[in-house]
A and B are shown apart, each in its own frame.
Chain A
Amino acid sequence: MSGRALAAIISAGLSKFGKLEGLYSREIFLSAAKEAFDRCPNLNPKKDIKSLFIGQMSESSEHQGHTGALIADWLGLNPTPSVRLESACASSGAALRAGIQAIMSGLVETVMVGGVEKLTHLSTSDATEYLALSSDNFLEQWHGFTFPALFALIARAHMHKYKTREEQLAAVAVKNHKNGSKNPKAHIQKEITIEQALNSRIIASPLRLFDCSLISDGASCLILTRPELAKRYTDEPVYIVGTGQASDTIGLYEREDLTSLNSIALAAREAYRMADVGPDDLDVVEVHDCFTIAEIVSYEMLGLCGKGEGGTFIESGQTEIDGKIPVNTSGGLKSKGHPVGATGTAQVYEIYLQLTGQAGKRQVEGAEIGLTQNLGGHGSTSIVHIFKRNI
Chain B
Amino acid sequence: MEEIAFLRDERGEIYPTIENFYKFCGMGKLMAVRCSRCGRLILPPRPMCPECYSTDLGWVQLSGRGRLETYSEVYVPPKNFASKSPYVIGIVRLVEGVALPGQIVVDRGEKAEVGMELSVDFESAPAEGWPQWPRYFFRPVDRK
A→B interface (CB under 8 Å): 124-126, 128-129, 132, 136, 138-146, 148-149, 152-154, 156-157, 160, 201-207, 251-254, 258
Contacts and interface: CB of A to CB of B under 8 A. Distances in A.
B119 interface: no
A47 B134 CA distance: 58
Given A143-B135, A144-B89, A160-B70, A253 B76 contact: no
A157 B67 CA distance: 13
Contact of B77 (A125, A153, A206): A125
Contact of B44 (A139, A160, A201): A139
A160 B76 CA distance: 23
15 contacts: A124-B76, A129-B79, A143-B89, A143-B103, A144-B78, A145-B89, A149-B89, A153-B70, A153-B89, A156-B70, A156-B72, A157-B70, A207-B72, A251-B101, A252-B91
A126 B79 contact: yes
Contacts of B100: 139, 253
B64 to A, nearest CB: 15
Interface stretch (B7-15, B29-37, B51-59, B80-88): B80-88
Contacts of A149: 72, 74, 89
A261 to B, nearest CB: 14
A251 to B, nearest CB: 7
Contact of A128 (B76, B91, B102, B135): B76
Contacts of A125: 77-79, 82
Contacts of A136: 101
B69 interface: yes
A204 B78 contact: no
A134 B84 CA distance: 23
A148 B80 CA distance: 16
B99 interface: yes
A149 to B, nearest CB: 5
Contacts of B90: 153
Contacts of A202: 73, 75
A175 to B, nearest CB: 24
Given A126-B79, A142-B131, A205 B101 contact: no
B91 A253 contact: yes
B78 A141 contact: yes
A153 B72 contact: yes
B18 interface: yes
Contact of A254 (B79, B80, B99): B99
Contacts of A138: 18, 22, 44
A146 B69 CA distance: 18
A204 B85 CA distance: 10
B71 interface: yes
Contacts of B101: 136, 139-140, 143, 145, 251-253
Nearest to B88: A205
B60 interface: no
Contacts of A140: 101
Most buried by A among B72, B80, B102: B72
Contacts of A141: 78
Contacts of A201: 75
A204 B74 contact: yes
Nearest to B44: A139
Contacts of B84: 144
Contacts of A156: 70-72, 114
Contacts of B44: 138-139
A219 B69 CA distance: 38
Contacts of A206: 72
Most buried by B among A139, A141, A149, A153: A149
Given A149-B89, A205-B73, 7 more contacts: A136-B101, A139-B44, A143-B89, A144-B77, A144-B103, A146-B78, A204-B74
A157 B101 CA distance: 14
